[in-house]
Amino acid sequence: MTLDELDTPALVVDLDVMEANLQAMQQRVSARGLKLRPHTKAHKIPALAQRQLSLGGEGICTAKLGEAEVMADAGIMDILITTPIAHPIKYQRLVALYLAHPEGVFCQVVDHAEHVLGIGKCAVAAGVNVELLIEVESGQQRCGVALGKSLVDLIKLIEATEGVSYRGIQAYSGHLQHVQDFAQRQAQARAAVLPIFDFIDNQLLPQGLAPRVVSGGGTGTYQAYTGLGFTEIQAGSYIFMDAAYRALASRDNSRQNDEFSNALKVWTTVISHPTPERAVLDAGMKCLSIDMGMPLVEGREDIRYQSGGDEHGILHLAEGEVSLTIGQRLLMLPSHCDTTLNSYQTLYGIRGDEVVQSWDIAGRGRSD
Ligand SMILES: Cc1ncc(COP(=O)(O)O)c(C=O)c1O
């Protein structure tokens, strides 16, 4: 099929660009002496996770238990679930994941005694052992236990609780991924985690509580984490990139972050052109997320996208610009790849104008 034959709105990925992004991140992280544990929340497709593993990935991350179930059912056996879970229903499901895949190496992030005791109780009843990674506060003020006695107590509790074991620490500074200036982003990312490594060296190590694994970092901050004590990087968005990441400054502080290129696009149609300056697309916020700003029109910097609600995207043409035609197709560059992808059931792989592949987005909507 050609792109022209594909109905819209459709989610497409440039296969060559995606492959270049995948290889570049693996090489850059390996060159820093770190492991890459790709965060698959960006794509939710087992086949793409397999590709990341075949390039050298040290297992994968999923944000949610539901995503992990999808990945494990597809045969991926080394999964870190990076968001804490709470409630016996979830603890039972976590244990069921172990029982369904006895060869699996799964790890759950926690930040409170409640999690440890709840998971431990279910694990003992099922006769399994659940590995835990403790999320530590690293500036985002989302989940994460504070450094100090509460962290030491939590590690000791895991060590003393049957059915669970202590793997290490997660420190993900999500609030710093999009700091505009490259040098500032790197400096802030290091500053946010330095106290954690100081605490490990001076408090945890002497007590025999040092982490085996320290996991963190994203597409915006991975470069800051050389030589600090991280063992693995959890970056995810680099596979696709998006307009929000591209709009950051690059290493030489030029305007555009060109470390990775935009691979993910949304194929759309102009459905209306009420005035010469205003056209309307068949892609509103149900298929082009706007939580990280507005998407861009590929190759048309003169056109500005404005949300027209759930189903419509309004295009503003600069004065004097050639108008669009009704039925014309446009490729849009999403501002945020994760939330855009989650609205689609299928991802089409394109090479030039040819649609050469498609994948079911098996983890789509699995925020449970
Ligand atoms: C805990 C965690 N780790 C890693 C990532 C991946 O970061 P990025 O997509 O910026 O590479 C995210 C993204 O939200 C995350 O929440």
Nearest protein CA to atom 2 of ligand 1, as residue: 172
CA of 242 to the centre of ligand 1 (A): 14
What's the average model confidence in pLDDT over 31-56?
98
Segment 108-124 mean pLDDT: 98
Sequence ranges of the domains in the chain: 3-8+258-360, 15-246
Least Cα distance to 39 among 52, 24, 54, 28 occurs for 52
- In short, whether 65's Cβ falls inside 6 Å of ligand 1 is no
- Asked if pLDDT for residue 256 goes beyond 80, the answer is no
Ligand 1 atom with minimal separation from the 222 CA: 11
Distance 237 CA to ligand 1 centre (A): 7
Given a cut of 80, is residue 270 above it in pLDDT? yes
Q: Does the CA dihedral 110-113-115-117 come out positive or negative? A: positive
Tokens of 326: 């009704």
Q: How confident is the model at residue 122 (pLDDT cuts 50, 70, 90)?
A: very high
219 lines ligand 1 (CB under 6 A): yes
* Cβ of 336 less than 6 Å from ligand 1: no
57 lines ligand 1 (CB under 6 A): no
Q: What is the average pLDDT across 222-234?
A: 96
Residue 14 tokens read as: 């440039």
Is 362 within 8 Å of 74 (Cβ atoms)?
yes
Say yes or no to pLDDT of 249 above 90.
no
Ligand 1 centroid from CA 272, angstroms: 37
| CA atoms of 289 and 336, how far apart (whole Å) | 7
| Of the candidates 130, 99, 135, the residue with the CA atom closest to the CA atom of residue 117 | 130
Unique residue bearing structure tokens 């962290």: 151
Name the closest-CA residue to atom 14, ligand 1.
174
Residue 284 backbone dihedrals phi, psi, to 5 degrees? -100, -160
CATH fold, domain 3-8+258-360, is Lyase, Ornithine Decarboxylase; Chain A, domain 1 (2.40.37)
3-state secondary structure of 288: coil
Query: So what's the pLDDT on residue 322?
Result: 81
Q: What average pLDDT does this structure show over 226-249?
A: 96
Q: Tell me which residue of 341, 336, 323 sits closest to 280, measured CA to CA.
A: 323
- How many angstroms does the Cα of residue 124 sit away from the middle of ligand 1? 31
Q: What is the CATH number of domain 15-246?
A: 3.20.20.10
42: helix, coil or strand? helix
* pLDDT attached to residue 254: 75
Q: Is the CB of 237 under 6 A from ligand 1?
A: yes
pLDDT at 257: 83
Q: Is the pLDDT of residue 138 over 90?
A: yes
Quick one: pLDDT at residue 78? 98
> Could you count the other beta carbons within 10 Å of the beta carbon of residue 290?
18
> 250: pLDDT confidence band, cut at 50, 70 and 90?
confident
Task: Assess whether pLDDT exceeds 80 at residue 141.
Answer: yes
Ligand 1 centroid–CA 19 distance in Å is: 19
Return mean pLDDT, the chain: 97
Q: How far, in Å, is the centroid of ligand 1 from the Cα of 174?
A: 7
- CA separation for the pair 291, 289 (Å, rounded): 6
Model confidence at 252, pLDDT cuts 50, 70, 90, reads: confident
Q: Is 235 in the pocket of ligand 1 (CB under 6 A)?
A: yes
pLDDT tens per residue, range 53-112? 999 999 999 999 999 999 999 999 999 999 999 999 999 999 999 999 999 999 999 999
Least confident of 237-241, 244-248, 329-333: 244-248
Shared fold status for 3-8+258-360 and 15-246: no
DSSP string, 124-149: HHHT--EEEEEEB--SS-SS-BPSSH
Can you tell me which atom of ligand 1 is nearest the CA of 245? 10
What is the distance between the alpha carbons of residues 154 and 332, in angstroms, rounded to a whole number? 46
